């Protein structure tokens, strides 16, 4: 079906088919010698036989091999005209199939064209155009209006409107200036910027995504494995069946007709095509799916577990208050120690504290030593003293000196609170608040509309804070004070009860849980390599409504595959064999009967590229 020799050149292949067909038609009309018809038969058979033998060497019994065998039998039985027509029908059918499949592949391969081959490098006061492969980290590149960003880097001068739609799925351009990160493959709609190259080629976010997409098709879904198994078992049995029919009937026409319906290998080939079309459709929305199995599991999901911070909330908390609990320390003293502790952390709450310190014009030095326990807190040394920053349980832990804590104020129960301690004595507390995402409530509601009612919220935050978020979103199963290891335990418990669990998190603190879940979905993957590494699916933007698109896409994909299997195997092959046995169909009619459903199957699979959701 691939026709490796010619398939990269569609027009020459079409000319080849039409030339061979022209010989076949011209022979009786122009009174040409009879061997001209045999030449046309040979030309029609050549690409089919080539692929049939090639696949046989790969231990695959294909339709091409069946038709090649049928051609030999037809020549012995003097049915050259019938088999020649069959060959031309199959050639034309497979030519159209290749066009459809190449269109799907091109949608993915076109990503390569997003990266320019030549770039403008700034050298002193001069701008020099050089090949991209000569660029090294640290080079300064100039990108002007209409240009593509060739590397990952940071803007050092200029302002521009950057279109990141192919990464995030968001159509609106992003205004970026000095200090902003830019990513390879994005497009400068307006302005002019100079960037310092940080990552190049396969090390860029674009490069990592491209590599993952290439590997995506290698992670086979169970339904693909099933189709492969059907093909590998069915085809040898069918050959034996044809031999039995030959001994019972001695009818060559029946055998040729049966062989045309013989191999279901195209079903095994079109199933991965369906998944590929779905992966392309998702990528166009700014969603990276790392394998077929992720879509299949998502379609069967009955339980969704959400992290809170950065997932259901905006992930941009703000410092609400800082309270000194020791007269020796001012509010700025507490803020400075907290900022020093958080300086090396990538957590969302760390960014809020550092931003607030910047607003207060504090200079934040590096800690002398730094130890972080994910999901709990941080210990540092600074100027010879030991400091702790973390939640109440972390600061009160025995290994931290059983720090004596004040009673928690009721008016702060709905806030996220961190405590700062010095050498076993409490210094003060920092309260932060986060906002719920605007699309979170609607997303939860739409999931319930799709019969996913087993929805959990797991948070390392206080129970009161988690409860408040759950109440606003309509999530009843809410658990606060959940540490990363406890999340793993809860996921395993759900899975042990037979639930198919999807975990949605931020991809950093939730990396172990994302890996444990049947499907891990990371939010906001732009620039977050841990998210891409840990999750099965990455939402490059932070739009929760993408989950609904994903769920609908997964169901549409499996529905398409099931329809294709019914049309292709249960109907076409089964009915075709019955018609052949009762001699209600001849080889030419069989070829047409086989080709039309194949077209329907291919177009049904390829249409997923344009999937927009319900």
List residues with catalytic annotation: 307
Closest to 264 measured CA to CA, from 72, 65, 118:
65
CB 47 within 8 A of CB 5: yes
Cross-strand bridge partners of residue 303? 454, 501
Strand pairing class (126-131; 118-123): antiparallel
Instruction: Name 213's Cβ contacts closer than 8 Å, sequence gap at least 6.
Output: 108, 111, 279, 283, 288
Secondary structure element (H or E) that encloses residue 549, with its range: helix 546-565
Q: What b/e string do you get for 249-277 counting C-beta neighbours within 10 Å, with b at 16 or more? A: eebbbbbbbbbbbbbbbbbbbbbbbbbbb
CA distance 561 to 117: 39
3-state secondary structure 85-133: HHHHHHHHHHHHHHHHHHHHHHHHHHHHHHCCCEEEEEECCEEEEEEHH
CA distance 358 to 344: 15
Cα distances (angstroms) measured from residue 128 to each of 116, 118, 132, 195, 196: 15, 10, 12, 15, 15
3-state secondary structure 470-522: HHHHCCCEEECCCCHHHHHHHHHHHHHCCCCEEEEECCCCCHHHHHHCCEEEE
Backbone angles phi, psi at 542, to 5 degrees: -110, 35
């Amino acid at each position: 079906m691939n026709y490796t020799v010619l398939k990269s050149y569609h027009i020459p292949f079409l000319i080849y088919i039409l030339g061979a067909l022209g010989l076949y038609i011209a022979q009786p009309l122009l009174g040409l010698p009879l061997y001209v018809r045999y030449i046309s038969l040979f030309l029609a058979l050549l690409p089919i036989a080539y692929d049939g033998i090639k696949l046989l060497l790969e231990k695959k019994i294909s339709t091409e091999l069946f038709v090649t065998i049928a051609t030999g039998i037809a020549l012995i039985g003097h049915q050259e005209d019938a088999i020649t027509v069959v060959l031309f029908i199959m050639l034309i059918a497979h030519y159209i199939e290749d066009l459809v499949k190449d269109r799907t592949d091109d949608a993915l391969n076109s990503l390569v064209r997003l990266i320019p081959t030549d770039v403008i490098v700034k050298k002193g006061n001069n701008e020099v155009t050089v090949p991209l492969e000569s660029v090294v980290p640290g080079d300064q590149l100039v990108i002007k209006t209409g240009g593509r960003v060739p590397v990952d880097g940071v803007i050092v001068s200029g302002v521009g409107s950057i279109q990141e739609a192919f990464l995030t799925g968001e159509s609106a351009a992003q205004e970026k200036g000095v200090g902003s990160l830019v990513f390879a493959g994005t497009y400068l709609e307006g302005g002019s910027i100079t960037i310092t190259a940080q990552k190049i080629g396969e090390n860029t976010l674009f490069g990592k995504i491209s590599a993952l997409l290439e590997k995506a098709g290698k992670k086979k879904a169970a339904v693909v494995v099933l189709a492969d198994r059907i093909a590998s078992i069915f085809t040898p049995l069918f050959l034996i069946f044809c031999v039995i029919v030959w001994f019972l009937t001695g009818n060559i026409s029946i055998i040729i007709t049966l062989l045309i319906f013989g191999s279901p290998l195209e079903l095994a080939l079109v199933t991965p095509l369906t998944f590929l079309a779905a992966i392309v459709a998702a990528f166009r929305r700014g969603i990276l799916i790392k394998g077929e199995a992720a879509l299949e599991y998502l379609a069967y999901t009955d339980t969704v577990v959400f992290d809170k911070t950065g997932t259901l909330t905006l992930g941009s908390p703000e410092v609400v208050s800082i309270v000194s609990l020791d007269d020796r320390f001012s509010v700025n003293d507490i803020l400075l120690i907290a900022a020093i502790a958080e300086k090396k952390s990538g957590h969302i709450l760390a960014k809020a504290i550092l931003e607030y310190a910047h607003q207060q014009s504090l200079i934040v030095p590096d800690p002398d030593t730094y130890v972080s326990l994910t999901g709990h807190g941080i210990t540092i040394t600074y100027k010879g003293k030991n400091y702790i920053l973390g939640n109440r349980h972390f600061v009160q832990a025995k290994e931290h000196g059983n720090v004596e804590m004040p009673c928690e104020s009721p008016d702060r129960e709905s806030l996220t609170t961190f405590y700062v301690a010095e050498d076993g004595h409490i210094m003060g507390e920092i309260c932060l608040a986060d906002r719920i995402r605007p699309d979170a409530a609607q997303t939860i509601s739409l999931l319930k509309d799709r019969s996913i009612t087993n929805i959990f919220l797991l948070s390392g935050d206080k129970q009161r804070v988690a409860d408040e978020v759950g109440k606003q979103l309509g999530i009843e199963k809410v658990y606060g004070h959940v540490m990363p290891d406890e999340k793993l335990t809860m996921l395993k418990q759900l899975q042990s009860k037979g639930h198919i669990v999807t975990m949605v998190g931020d991809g950093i603190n939730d990396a172990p849980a994302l890996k444990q879940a049947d499907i891990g979905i990371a939010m906001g993957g732009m620039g977050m390599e841990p998210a891409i590494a840990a999750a099965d699916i990455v939402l490059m933007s932070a739009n929760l409504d993408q989950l609904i698109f994903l769920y609908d896409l997964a169901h549409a994909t499996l529905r398409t595959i099931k329809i294709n299997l019914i049309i292709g195997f249960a109907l076409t092959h089964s009915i075709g064999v019955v018609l052949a046995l009762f001699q209600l169909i001849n080889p030419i009619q069989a070829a047409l009967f086989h080709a039309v459903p194949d077209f329907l199957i291919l177009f049904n699979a390829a249409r997923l590229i344009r999937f927009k959701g319900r």
